[in-house]
Structure 1
């Protein structure tokens, strides 16, 4: 299906709602990426330390400290002196949901024929910016495809 070169703009309220949804996805993406990484570090290495998060995220330790403070305020992360970072129940739930969405998007992109490295990299953005309806469509498509 071809999209016309000059599509008509949607009604202003609908347009504004789309942009608001994307801004919220951007805000949520950082929290989800952090809790997902903390969960993975806890599972694989038994600990999650700010220095390792900074190294893996490619940011400064000051950035990690500021983000972790926000995650603590939001009730997602706990810190324990000399023991690193831990996820609260809410943080664990967010991490599990983020991992599930990420895995679904990777599987979908692989089904489209992307190589694994591209699918993993692209999923990092897509997973935060698609609606639940789109994710459900990805899952239905994969279920039909895998049922063949």
Structure 2
């Protein structure tokens, strides 16, 4: 079953949970480790750009204190900076620093590697499940397509 294969990919042979994104990163010769909430906020800022504390709180359904804690941690790691809004001094706007952008590039590279591993592990199973429903011609086309995709993925690594 597909869901069991996805769950199995998160545990090693010793039943230890594989934290795909829990590793620390080196940026400008400085090791940085992030909590999952911090990574989520970094992705959010990358995707949506400058955002208010309120926008982040609503998007992640955080308590205000959690948002403050996460932003302060990111600020202390020099990954974001805070500026007051020009329209309303009560509103604080959060932006990525260059260091934060550099870290996001590393995070996205890691996310891509994990995604490719998942795809590589699932292709054989998906292919096997489709075989019963495909004609001989469709099956040959699927095999060619999977081979081409697999070779493209191997070239990225």
Give TM-score scaled by structure 1 length: 0.52
**Secondary structure in structure 1 of the residue aligned to 2:51:** coil
- For this pair of structures, how many residues does the alignment match? 97
| 1:105 equivalent in structure 2 | 114
In 1: Cα distance, 2:58 partner to 2:119 partner: 28
Asked whether the 8 Å contact 1:35–1:94 carries over to 2, the reply is no
- Output one character per residue of 1:15-48: Cα deviation in whole Å (capped at 9) or x when no partner: xxxxxxx6969x5233333222211111xxxx32
In 2: Cα distance, 1:63 partner to 1:77 partner: 16
Q: State which structure, 1 or 2, has the greater radius of gyration over its C-alpha atoms.
A: 2
Asked whether the 8 Å contact 1:36–1:98 carries over to 2, the reply is no
In 2: Cα distance, 1:74 partner to 1:62 partner: 18
Cα distance change, pair 28–4 in 1 and its aligned pair in 2 (3 A): closer
In 2: Cα distance, 1:4 partner to 1:67 partner: 33
Unaligned runs of at least 5 residues, structure 2: 1-12, 16-21, 26-32, 86-91, 124-150
Structure 2 residue 150 is matched with structure 1 residue 142: no
Unaligned runs of at least 5 residues, structure 1: 6-21, 115-139
| 1:41 equivalent in structure 2 | 48
Cα distance change, pair 141–52 in 1 and its aligned pair in 2 (3 A): same
| Matching residue within 83, 86, 99 for 1:90 | 99
| 2:78 equivalent in structure 1 | 75
In 1: Cα distance, 2:46 partner to 2:82 partner: 14
Pick the structure with more strand per residue.
2
In 2: Cα distance, 1:80 partner to 1:112 partner: 45
In 1: Cα distance, 2:74 partner to 2:14 partner: 43
- Output one character per residue of 1:101-123: Cα deviation in whole Å (capped at 9) or x when no partner: 11221232123228xxxxxxxxx
Cα distance change, pair 110–4 in 1 and its aligned pair in 2 (3 A): closer
Cα distance change, pair 91–104 in 1 and its aligned pair in 2 (3 A): same
Pick the structure with more helix per residue.
1
Cα distance change, pair 74–106 in 1 and its aligned pair in 2 (3 A): same
Give TM-score scaled by structure 2 length: 0.49
